[in-house]
Structure 1
Amino acid sequence: MDIGSLTTRAVLTVEADDSLREAAMAMMERGVGSAVVLSAGKATGILTDRDALRAVAQARETQSFTVGDFVSGRMMTALPSTEIVDAAQMMRERGFRHLIVVDEDDALVGVFSMRDLVVGLLEERRMLTKAVATEAAVAAPAD
């Protein structure tokens, strides 16, 4: 199973010079844990809920901070055709909770999150269980 069908496509996007406070409020209102940072239409980073918490922890006044002050410079991209197991391994090895999904031209497609990963792995398990049960029924001797 590839990650394309599991990728969240309605993604919150922000720019580096946007207010960190407004970006955090938008994340909270939409119930998301990240926002993709764009520059000239291309993903350049990802702002996570952990980045926003770090900003609050490091300073009393966050009003003047921009997204660029705290954006996670670490990001990883993947194509929609990336297999879910490969995406899981990439995320585990690098300690990421999100992959930015882009097309062959590096245009933003969406975000693949840990939540999407769990949904995909559960679906793969369901399909495998069904296939094994079907195979067992076909292979069972007739009475």
Structure 2
Amino acid sequence: VAKSLDPAVTTVTDIMTRSPFCVTPETKVADAVLIMIERGFRHLPIVTDANKILGVFSVRDALPREVQTAQSLAEFHEQVNDALG
């Protein structure tokens, strides 16, 4: 729909993200939010070691404090990368 495709005939395969970045249930919320900020994701699949999908994590699932922590880490990483060239 966002790509002006007809949803009546467009399949999910035509628009899905192939080989998405995934996290495990043990991933810390702040780390998941940091991944989303740094990579420009809005959602992360949560998978088991056997690649069974357990759910999807969204930044809306995080608490404001964790989002702020991840944002601070992302800014720090950006500053370090800029300093290292």
TM-score band (shorter)? 0.5 to 0.7
Residue 104 (structure 1) shift: 1.2
Q: Which has the larger radius of gyration?
A: 1
Which residue of 1 is the match for residue 11 of structure 2? 66
Match for residue 112 of structure 1 among 49, 57, 76: 57
Residue identity in the other structure for 1:121: E
What TM-score do the two structures reach when normalised by structure 2?
A: 0.65
Q: Write 1 or 2 for the structure with the bigger share of strand.
A: 1
Pairs within 5 Å for 1:47-126: 52-54=1-3, 57=4, 59=5, 61-73=6-18, 75-118=20-63, 121=66
Distance in 2 between the 1:70 and 1:105 partners?
Answer: 25
Where has structure 1 moved over 4 Å in runs of 4 or more?
none
1:106 and 1:74, CA in 2 relative to 1: closer, same or farther beyond 3 A?
closer
Structure 2 unpaired stretches of 5+:
68-85
1:82 and 1:120, CA in 2 relative to 1: closer, same or farther beyond 3 A?
farther
How large is the RMSD of aligned CA atoms in angstroms? 2.2
Distance in 1 between the 2:63 and 2:19 partners?
Answer: 22
* Percent identity (aligned): 33
Distance in 1 between the 2:7 and 2:26 partners?
Answer: 39
Count of aligned residue pairs for this structure pair = 67
Distance in 2 between the 1:116 and 1:71 partners?
Answer: 22
